[in-house]
Amino acid sequence: MMKITAILTVRDEGAFLLEWLAHHRAIGFTDFLVFSNDCTDGTDAMLDRLQELGHLTHIPNPGPYDEGGIQWTALKQADKHPLTQNADWLMCLDIDEFVNIHVGDGTLKALMDAVPDATAFALTWRLFGNADVDAFVDAPVTEQFQQAAPAVLYWPWRASMFKTLFKNDGIYSKIGVHRPRSPDKSRLDEARWFDTRGKEILDPPIKTRRLFNQFGRDNYLLAQLNHYALGARQSYVLKRARGRVNRGDKLMGMDYWVERNFNQTHDDSILRHRGLSAPLLAQLHADPVLHDLHQRAADWRDSTFIRLILEDESRALYGRLLLTPPTEPLAKKKAQELLRIGRRAQLSVKIQPLDDK
């Protein structure tokens, strides 16, 4: 059987863990290597229980962390782990990212069968907005948040970023957050990268450093990566307090929210997988230990929000979230002007004379 391993890092996200696991097991991931750190909601206990039941492998990641931060420290451990080394395909994901395959029966195998020459799939994010949901509700994320960015979005450029499902054939020796790293340069010609339209990406930087795809109306023809980066407003306050897994010293603010809160397009395409994922989710909840831990993690979110809202900074952020309307996409002309201004600014910096002082 083909082995497809997903690598995940989590902190205080137990309320979302079982849905994420059931979905990705349903579409064809066979193994899960999960790192946790500094959990106070019981996520680490859930992972231990899931490991006991044979659903995943849990590795605590308490630090110390290298300069890259928590996630990069975990990925360096993952590079050496048997689940990584013995996998046929690999992908690094976050808990708010759901692989959503449109072709065939919606499984990873169907995607691979549709593009048999691919050694790497650059799965483009599709940003899902807040959908005007205020309070955290213990219900599937994929059912609560179905308002997304349009297929063509000219700005911000981060909206076109991707995560990579790649063949573990030795061309790349290290896992990255968005793409595999450390290629064997003598074998780069063997790498065949395809986008979510099923079109081969021939631009050379894709094989070594590129992190984003081009937008197009058929951009999500074969697949997309549903990115539920915001969630409910109250959950976003908790997310900010938790910090960013790969940039722990940089807190999330209104900039992160505004660049992701697009709600123009209704997209419930991921629900086609519910027939496969729902029985798996029910099976996980049937374990009384797991169910209790899940409920405790959900309750923790409510109690932690109440505690945080007593702080001036968190209360101010929550107020701004309530005041700020959904983000409207920039027209193409305005986005192009923004890019031109950026290029002119870069050029002016390059040609500034040196200060003799």
CA dist 193 and 185 (Å) reads 15
Q: What is the mean pLDDT of residues 265-284?
A: 96
Instruction: State the Rg of the chain over Cα.
Output: 21
- Is residue 153 domain-resident? yes
Residue 25's pLDDT is 98
Q: What is the pLDDT of residue 356?
A: 38
Q: Which of 178, 115, 141 is nearest to 274 (CA)?
A: 141
Q: How many beta carbons lie within 10 A of that of residue 52, not counting itself?
A: 12
> pLDDT value at position 125?
95
How far is it, in rounded angstroms, from Cα 203 to Cα 165?
Answer: 18
Contact 156, 127 (CB under 8 A): no
Q: Is 145's pLDDT higher than 70?
A: yes
Span 17-23, average pLDDT: 98
- Work out the average pLDDT over 14-25: 98
Sign of the C-alpha dihedral computed for residues 130, 131, 132 and 138 taken in this order:
negative
Determine the structural domain holding residue 311 and report its residue range: 95-351
Structural domain contains residue 10: no
Q: Is 311 inside a domain boundary?
A: yes
Q: Is residue 41 part of a domain?
A: no
Residue 66 lies in a domain: no
Residue 344 in domain: yes
Pairwise CA distance, residues 143 & 274, whole Å: 10
Q: Is residue 13 part of a domain?
A: no
Q: Give 239-252 pLDDT, tens digit per residue.
A: 999 876 544 556 78
Instruction: Count Cβ neighbours within 10 Å for each residue of 184-194 and write b for 16 or more, e otherwise.
Output: eeeeeeebbbb
CA torsion sign for 331, 155, 122, 99 is: negative
How many CB atoms neighbour CB 342 within 10 A? Answer: 10
Number of structural domains the chain divides into? 1
Mean pLDDT of the chain: 93
Tell me the pTM: 0.94
Q: In this model, does residue 8 exceed pLDDT 60?
A: yes
Helix ranges (DSSP H) in the chain: 14-27, 43-52, 70-80, 82-85, 108-114, 141-144, 233-242, 254-258, 274-286, 288-308, 312-323, 332-351
Do the Cβ atoms of 231 and 145 come closer than 8 Å? yes
What does the buried/exposed string (b/e) look like for 144-168 if buried means 16 or more CB atoms within 10 Å of the residue's CB?
ebbbbbebebbbbeebbbbbbbbbb
Peptide bond into 279 cis (omega under 30): no
Cα–Cα distance list, 294 to 67, 111, 145 (Å): 33, 32, 20
Q: Is residue 59 part of a domain?
A: no
Q: What is the pLDDT of residues 165-185, one digit of tens each?
A: 999 999 999 999 999 999 999
Q: What is the mean pLDDT of residues 208-229?
A: 88
Residue with tokens 């593009």: 115
